[in-house]
Amino acid sequence: MRSNALWVSAALFVTFWLTALSAAAGIFDDPVNLQVLPEDISADQLRATMIGFTKATGLRCSGCHVGEEGRPLAEFDFASDEKARKKTTRAMLRMVQSINADHLAGLDLDSRVTCVTCHRGVSSPKLTRDLLAEIAEQSGFEAMQTRYRKLRAEYFGTHSHDFSEQMLLGVATSLSGENLALAQQVVELNLEFFPQSFKSNFMMGRLLQASAQADRARNYYERALEIHRDPRVLEALNTMIADD
């Protein structure tokens, strides 16, 4: 029954979307103030391009164009350059065109750059690791953890954000030089999702050892050894025993 309901919902959504596009079809005729896209672009090509932008960046029409979200597109002022993001978009389009025409064209590669290459379905192309590290440095662990859980709930299973084990370890590594305690919290969060991770247990051991918490470090090293008998763990344990 649930499967049928999902199909019905999907069909209704597609019907609504097609109806909305049909009703707004006129907005793609005779476009004004095109500065990067070809002036002779057809209505169908322009429509497909705009839809492609929304899918690539996660933005709606109101992200770049003057108009109120939820209002008919016929009420939008698409010719206006009032919004700064529209100017940024033009610069990004020129960059993409240059990369494809000037840098990739001469290479033996069966690929080209598009908006989604960097944006991955979200408005900011910042890497997940860099985004979380910045939040942790500026606002602390709780703010970073809250953002991570929110992103994971919304984007897990998509290509928009990286939720691999290595990502949070990268965040912890970038923080460890200045704040060992904060780096430990990040690895602890990673262990919540990857409890059988050798890398996370071993890194926690190293961070705790560096902060003079030998007993706790030994526990994590022993867990790491249970997962994988890596010589680095044995060396760390031997060093701790020698220091005792």
Q: Coil, strand, or helix at residue 66? A: strand
Looking at residue 21, its pLDDT comes to 52
Tell me the pLDDT tens digit for each residue of 139-184. Answer: 999 999 999 999 999 999 999 999 999 999 999 999 999 999 999 9
Looking at residue 108, its pLDDT comes to 81
C-alpha pair distances (Å), 130 with each of 11, 91, 97, 138, 172? 39, 23, 26, 12, 11
C-alpha pair distances (Å), 187 with each of 7, 95, 157? 41, 37, 22
The structural domains of the chain, with segments of one domain joined by +, span 2-119, 128-243
What mean pLDDT is reported for the chain?
88
Residue 34 CA neighbour count, 13 Å, CB half: 16
Tell me the pLDDT tens digit for each residue of 78-107. Answer: 999 999 999 999 999 999 999 999 989 888
pLDDT band at residue 9 under the 50/70/90 scheme = low
DSSP code at position 77: B
Rg (CA), the chain: 25
pLDDT band at residue 19 under the 50/70/90 scheme = low
| pLDDT at position 128 over 90 | yes
Q: Can you say whether the dihedral through the CA atoms of 7, 8, 14, 15 is positive or negative?
A: positive
Looking at residue 14, its pLDDT comes to 47
- Span of 17-31, 122-136, 189-203, 219-233 with lowest mean pLDDT: 17-31
DSSP code at position 103: I
Tell me the pLDDT tens digit for each residue of 24-81. Answer: 557 888 888 999 999 899 989 999 999 999 999 999 999 999 999 989 888 899 999 9
What class has domain 128-243?
mainly alpha
